[in-house]
Amino acid sequence: MSFIPVAADSDFPIQNLPYGVFSTPDNPRPRIGVAIGDQILDLSAIKHLFTGPVLAKQQDVFAKPTLNSFMGLGPAAWKEARALLQSLLAAGQARLRDDAELRGRALASQASATMHLPAAIGDYTDFYSSQQHATNIGIMFRGKENALMPNWLSLPVGYHGRASSVVVSGTPIRRPMGQMRPDNSKPPVYGPCKLLDVELEMAFFVGPGNRLGEPIPISEAHEHIFGVVLMNDWSARDIQQWEYVPLGPFLGKSFATTISPWVVPIDALAPFTVPNPKQDPRPLPYLCHDQPYTFDINLSVALKGEGMSQAATICRSNFKHMYWTMLQQLAHHSVNGCNLRPGDLLASGTISGPEPENFGCMLELSWKGTKPIELGQGQTRTFLLDGDEVIITGHCQGDGYRVGFGPCTGKVLPALVPA
């Protein structure tokens, strides 16, 4: 229990303590904080209290405008910080509880805060690690017999995304313009995307990196994973379909990717590990690990159109449906000697489960636009309309508490069509 009041359905009890970057009207400087209940604990205001063996000489990482430096310190520093924060915020600990002056400087209301990207993201990679999603997309475009590509069960397929267009939750998303070929019997056309989609994903931030040419063995991969966020990797399906052969996604994906602002530490997710999925065929040795690294995280996607009084849930899924684990993704990413750096972002790919309600994108939910998605209130969708707001949420359910991520939201703005 914390001396800060925490509602039973709060995403941010003392068992969570996710990290983020925020500013306030009275102090517009972005700074690092930890969410607790409906409050933010400003770590720049209490950095002098980090006096443990690892952090005593590293207190300035909490005065930075991003989490990159703290991420780069590694697991010993993360564990030391988490232990101190849980102690400071505990109901029975007087150090912060009874110091009214320090509390006044160190605590801010989440309602009054503006959230920023938690890290300077140097590189962003998107994987394709849900077998159900890959199978569904394969059936749509290649048929049931060729649903999975020959390499899919042997390695975590991924591509290099665009880091500059990763934005924090709440940022409006402009409908992209691009080149499409809706009629294969006619030449391509230029105009606003007509098949704008959501992708339910999660992503993790890299902690310490590796030197160029030196892979991270899978036995050490856990030491390089700082924490996890929710993600909506917005997709322009018509632009993507025309452009993706032979080099993969480009303008159909690079226009926007939204992440939730709070990075949930791996240690907060540890109580919610479940057995890893059975992988057949058995992966090559560099991808094999026995450590459970699959997490039971309940996920949902809701959509609120203009004129709707409340959002309608269109998907309920779970992170445990992933085929490839985060350890495997990171080990595979570096196996060629690629150097990862603190603050790099690695995403799961669309998270779909076995039932239709578990499908993590509108392309699947509407089955390539052939089945309207019922929203109630007289509205349906196959793909996103201008003015639609997408709300992704996720949480792990504990005994009397939940470890959540806060919302990951974005509202679609009309395309900027040339005059």
* 3-state DSSP assignment of residue 412: strand
DSSP codes joined into one string, 322-339: -SS-HHHHHHHHHTT-PP
Marked catalytic residue, from 48, 116, 133, 224: 133
Residue 390's contacts (CB-CB under 8 Å, 6 or more residues apart) are 198, 232, 301, 302, 303, 384, 409, 410, 411, 412
Q: Which helix (H) or strand (E) holds 190?
A: strand 189-192
Cα separation, 193 vs 205, whole angstroms: 30
By the 10 Å C-beta count (0-12 exposed, 13-18 middle, 19+ buried), 53 is classed as exposed
The residue among 5, 94, 43 whose CA lies nearest residue 263 is 43
Sign of CA pseudo-dihedral 376, 394, 258, 245? negative
CA–CA distance, 135 with 245 (Å, rounded to integer): 19
Catalytic status, residue 133: yes
Instruction: Name the amino acid, one letter, at 44.
Output: S
> Active-site positions?
133
